[in-house]
Structure 1
Amino acid sequence: GDFNDVEFSETLRVMTGDESVNLLDTLLPDDRFDYNHRGKLQALMHGIVSKRQAEQGHVAYETLHGNELIGVKPGELGTKPTDHAYVLARLVVR
């Protein structure tokens, strides 16, 4: 979800712990962003699942880039529905 926190934060480290993984880490390094803050690409949305589910291949994580690459001036009204990329997480639940 939208943790509004960067991938190296203490909060995410605690939430992930020893039994979970952040699906963001499954993406190629150049694809690990979903937000553009004044020209700095960041990842604020993270998918946390159990290590077991990830190891069994029951998950997929993808970022659909677009909105965050267009650029937004702070406080400016625009026509974009969001200034974040869309992040898709697919999970097999049994």
Structure 2
Amino acid sequence: MQGKVALVTGGASGIGLSISKLMAKEGAKVVIADFNEAGAKEAAENINKQGGEAAGVFLDAGQADSIQAAVDSTIEQYGTLRYLLIMWV
């Protein structure tokens, strides 16, 4: 996963957070997208402190324009989006 870019929805907690951490550990640049924006940013900050590369953004998965904004933000910050993981509960 070294250098690949991943957008993980629902990544501020639970399975999404675990996946985000694992992908970052494997070298991916991870954007953690969640309705809980503060949680997403905190999770990203923790990954960055551990030597990974991550960012946190707001995402309301029920709103198309919110999804588009998260994708656009990911591409703007890191370039080509390689992985999109959608966590739905």
TM (norm. structure 2) is 0.24
Question: Per chain length, whose mean CA-contact separation is higher, i.e. which structure has more relative contact order (CA < 8 Å, sep 6+)?
Answer: 2
Answer 1 or 2: which has greater helix percent.
2
- Tell which structure's C-alpha radius of gyration is larger: 1
